[in-house]
Structure 1
Amino acid sequence: MTDSGRELDLVIYGATGFVGRLLADYLARTAPDGVRIALAGRSQAKLEATRAALGPRAGDWPIVIADADDPVALAELASRTSVVATTVGPYAKYGTELVTACVAAGTDYVDLTGEVLFVRGSIDAHHDKARANGVRIVHSCGYDSIPSDLGVHVLHRKVRADGAGELTDTTLVASLSGGVSGGTIDSLRTQIDVSRGDAALRRLAASPYSFSPDRTKEPDLGRQSDVAMVDGTGIAPQVRGWKAPFVMASYNTRIVRRSNALQGWVYGRKFKYREVMSVGDSRLSRVYAAGVAAILGGLVLGLSVPPTRYVLDRLLPAPGDGPSEKTQRNGYFAMDIYTTTTTGARYASRVAAQGDPGYRATAVLLGESALSLVLDRDRLPDEAGVLTPATALGDVLVERLRGAGVEISARAL
């Protein structure tokens, strides 16, 4: 356990939300006996109903009442537990006070954010104090961005073990099936709102090095296109068809680059990273990829303009909404990462799992991240601060996820 002096090991904050309930259910089924878990949120009645639906293993889990804008209640929550796992977003609206409380209390923290400006603000406000307090603040422990971050992590480990040099041009190709996340859409809305009318914030959000610990020390790699259409043969000889822009590329790439920088550019100072999405390998793949690019561009533009945003807000999934049980069960993701090393060797890694990426699979990813902090603290990397999944949890999380049925592998091509 992380701290036997605390009353609790883990608090699930936002346990009555769609993803919060999935996380609570996962932990109720899989957490080892003796892990002291509590459910937290705003409503006593809703929390009690959630607990009742989880079955007998959760029957004695405590309930903690704390509103996201009540710093006193959040400070008390953080002081009672060793780890907080929060699903309450958009994090720019509802996450700042909780991070502050965890850093002050010496409490480790994991979340699901995919918001560039929130994470940059967290780094600026809390990294140094979290390091001094020995606290791990670990953002993006769901589908955004564990498959990307750990996929590059194991790829680097394999290349280094083989003595094949360092990583250079590296591309993730995402394949997935699942429902559209209302939370992800709301995070996009929030980022648009926060940066509207502020050119400096827009430039920060657009920078490939938004999360860099020191931009002046980053290697000069020229322009890096995080959102792009790519011919598969330009990724690796065995990759066929054109690839479309990936909706989370502009976020995940920044997490991976921060992992590299926090570790002294261990992946390589010539490491260039991008993400794209598979739309099949037929002769029409270029047309499909262009269609995806147009849709993504139109979505961002539509949410930025009041008249079209009014319409989109009524058509797109709302926060807290989620896909059906069948969609969650039948969903999947597979992230294949290809690289060429400084010795000219080619390698690939894969992170794949069954279950809707943004919901059922994310509950596994976040749950095992939290349990890594609760149960395996003495085996984790000796790091503290505002970290990434790879730098905070590393091989421990890889091991836990493999045990939970997630494929994580790397190989020479």
Structure 2
Amino acid sequence: MTDRQFDVVLLGATGFTGSLTAEYLATHAPAGTRWALAGRDGGRLRALRDRLGVDAGVVEADVADASSLRRLAEAGRVLITAVGPYIRYGEGVVAACAEAGTDYVDLTGEPEFVDLTFLRHHATAVRTGARLVHACGFDAIPADLGAFFTVQQLPEGQPIRMRGYLSIGALPSGGTFDSALTALARWRSGTVARARRRRVEPVDQSRRVRGVSGRPGYDRTAGAWVLPLPTIDPQIVVRSARALDRYGPDFSYGHFVALGNPLKAAALGTGAIGVFALAQVPPARRALSRLRPPGSGPTPQQRAKAWFRLRFVADGGDRRVVTEVAAADPAYGGTAKMLAESALCLAHDPLPSNAGQVTTAVAMGDALRARLDAAGISFRVVESR
């Protein structure tokens, strides 16, 4: 792809997370990186470019126009899309990248979209050499690369039991809230898509890899009250484990949110059940979406106070390790950093040879972890015995 016009193209650059990603690229893309801002409104894109003071290209493209997406995919080596919810607006972008052999990254947390992408576009991407890498933001890089880092601290060839415990202080953006409501409203079709994927996806029968749901309650290992987190994160971790022998012959993973007291745990659990129920009713779902409309997000002051810590406890053989991934502003500054560094890693770093729908651990592994560590997202061993 040396004849491509751009190394990295950012679609949805004028949205909330897209503009943060553009700001990050403007200050952190290596010298000589050829990159472009893309979206429907050329005037807004040029205004963003002028505000950033960068020599970036501007490409007009609409997710509803397949021909514009084809031209966009053919113009770049790596395409970032920040246009969601992806189940509504994402498939055309994936299809264009798969056909053009263009590497693709997004920040989706929508399992149905990821499963449908595998069913419809994985084979094409394998043929053309495109790497389709989903969930390159707070969902699910800390979980995926954190689990990968943790496995590397354990003896090889041993069964591994791992649990991840998330503590977080952050507010969602309107786009994230809209995507979550959409996923909840589509849980039935999402279940169907996952079942279809399981029927056709190859599985290595010589190894046992699984996710475990766990139970809410007090967890002595975490020293906190925990609730299972049925997000895309544990699904991504399990897919990395199935693809990489380093996770051992028998690997299990559970993913939880850790809270300081039972009242918070009960309130969060009850609230989640209520939102799920309301998301099934279109008028109620629309009313909920107005609480935090797409395009809105936390203020710079709120983001400055945001934080997260994802702690892993893993047992393998006769060893136990505790590791941690942590950073400030996970929801948006951090997600923009992860998204941009994923694209730069694909564009510039020597990486394993693979294609099709792959996870961050499979596609980039240590190279991306090193980039993120240098960018302020820390990966460290807390305890090893």
TM-score, normalised to structure 1's length? Answer: 0.87
> 1:12, 1:84 within 8 Å by CA — same for their partners in 2?
yes
Once the two structures are TM-superposed, the CA of residue 73 in structure 1 deviates from its matched residue by: 0.5
Name which of 272, 276, 280 aligns with 2:256: 276
- Residue 369 of structure 2 corresponds to 398
- Verify the 8 A CA contact 1:334 1:351 in the aligned structure 2: yes
Residues 290-316 of structure 1, C-alpha deviations (whole Å, 9 max, x = no match): 22111111111111124532432332x
**Which of 218, 236, 243 is matched with 1:262 structurally?**
243
Q: What pairs with 1:3-402 in structure 2 (closer than 5 Å)?
A: 3-55=1-53, 58=54, 60-160=55-155, 165-195=157-187, 201-204=190-193, 213-214=201-202, 217=205, 224-225=212-213, 228-233=215-220, 236=221, 239-246=222-229, 249-264=230-245, 266-280=246-260, 285-315=261-291, 317-341=292-316, 343-355=317-329, 357-376=330-349, 379-402=350-373
- What's the offset of the Cα at 1:175? 1.2
Contact 1:103 1:135 in 2 (8 A): yes
Counterpart code for 1:229:
P
Structure 2 stretches lacking a partner, 5+ long: none
Deviation sequence 1:316-340 (CA, Å, 0-9, x none): x112111000111221111101111
Change beyond 3 A, Cα 1:73–1:212: same
1:169, 1:271 within 8 Å by CA — same for their partners in 2?
A: yes
1:167–1:146 CA distance, 2 compared to 1 (3 A): farther
Q: Give the aligned residue type for 1:174.
A: L
Cα gap change, 1:297/1:215 in structure 2, threshold over 3 Å: closer, same or farther?
A: farther
Distance in 2 of aligned mates of 1:218 and 1:123: 23
Query: Which amino acid is the alignment partner of residue 240 of structure 2?
Result: S
Which letter does structure 2 place at the counterpart of 1:243? V
Distance in 1, Cα, partners of 2:199 & 2:147: 17
Q: Quote how far apart the aligned CAs of 1:210 are.
A: 6.2
| Counterpart secondary structure, 1:250 | coil
Deviation, 1:216, is 8.3
Cα separation, partners in 2 of 1:7 and 1:204, compared to 1, 3 Å:
closer
Shift of 1:218: 8.7
Instruction: Name the Cα RMSD after superposition.
Output: 2.2
Structure with the bigger percentage of strand: 2
Secondary structure of 1:22 counterpart? helix
State the shift of 1:222 in Å.
Answer: 8.3
Displacement of 1:220 in angstroms is: 6.5
- Separation of aligned partners in 2, 1:218 and 1:329: 47
* 1:218–1:364 distance in 2 versus 1, CA, 3 Å: farther
Deviation of residue 188 (structure 1)? Answer: 2.4
**In 2, Cα distance between the equivalents of 1:242 and 1:218?**
36
Aligned partner letter, 1:40? A
One-letter amino acid of the structure 2 residue matched with residue 278 of structure 1: A
**Contact kept in structure 2, 1:180 and 1:322, CA below 8 Å:** yes
Q: Which moved more, 1:185-194 or 1:3-12?
A: 185-194
Name the TM-score, length of structure 2 as normaliser: 0.93
3-state SS of 1:47 partner = helix
Determine helix, strand or coil for the equivalent of 1:405: coil
Contact 1:242 1:278 in 2 (8 A): yes
Task: Give the whole-Å Cα distance in 2 for the aligned partners of 1:211 and 1:309.
Answer: 32
Q: Is the 8 A contact 1:173 1:275 kept in 2?
A: yes
Secondary structure class of the residue paired with 2:353: coil
Cα 1:307–1:91 change in 2 (3 A) is closer
Contact 1:142 1:363 in 2 (8 A): yes
SS in 2 for 1:291: helix
Deviations 1:137-175 (Å, cap 9, x if unpaired)? 100000000000000101111113xx5x53532111111
Gap change, CA 1:81 and 1:221, over 3 Å in 2: closer
Q: Is the 8 A contact 2:211 2:235 kept in 1?
A: no
Gaps in structure 1 of 5+ consecutive residues = none
Matched letter for residue 95 of structure 2: T
User: Contact 1:19 / 1:363 at 8 angstroms: preserved in 2?
Assistant: yes
User: Could you tell me which amino acid in structure 2 is paired with residue 372 of structure 1?
Assistant: C
CA distance in 2, matches of 1:318, 1:211: 37
